[in-house]
Copies of this chain bind each other. A is one copy, B any other.
């Protein structure tokens, strides 16, 4: 699936790409020269480790997604009750809101990188793995909600997951358009999402 280990150079290059993306670069218009400079390696070196620009960017994005997924799961798991876990997820979104290629943004919108990024073909088998890890996280969250008797509904797992995901999508929409919602602060937006979740699962 992924050997998980990268050489120092590969990591330097990934971090260069990620830096560029975080600084607003567009993955379609970023150049190899820019990646080389941001990575602190020579242009030729990139081709020692990757066979094309597309491969560099694809693998860097997947690396970024894995890191973000790991991080998000760790943070959510560190909380010990349904509400805290849920709010923690929203907080992560706030912290990454301007991150066009954040895992969450991507998973919720198209759900498929190849639509946004035609390059990513060979690597796509990793995506379902991330999705599945996120789904497990949601399942554990739901279980906790059930144990805490916040969730009482007898419904399919699909429905329950859907409620969580859709509330997160709503929050993402809020964060992406905060300037359009001047009378709703972030705290309030979170509360509304939580309220929807509780009502829809009750």
Contacts and interface: CB of A to CB of B under 8 A. Distances in A.
B109 A177 contact: no
A140 interface: no
A131 B180 contact: yes
Given A109-B109, A169-B170, A195-B159, A100 B116 contact: yes
A6 interface: no
How many interface residues does chain A have, given as a range? Answer: 35 or more
Given A165-B170, A170-B166, A192-B158, A115 B128 contact: no
Nearest to A169: B169
Copies of this chain in its oligomeric complex: 4
B159 A169 contact: no
A202 interface: yes
The prevalent SS among residues of A at the interface is: helix
A119 B21 CA distance: 16
A193 B110 CA distance: 18
Given A28-B26, A158-B184, A158-B192, A111 B177 contact: yes
Interface of A: 24, 26, 28-29, 100, 105, 108-112, 115-116, 118, 128, 131, 156, 158-159, 162-163, 165-167, 169-170, 172-174, 176-177, 180-181, 183-184, 192-193, 195-196, 199-200, 202
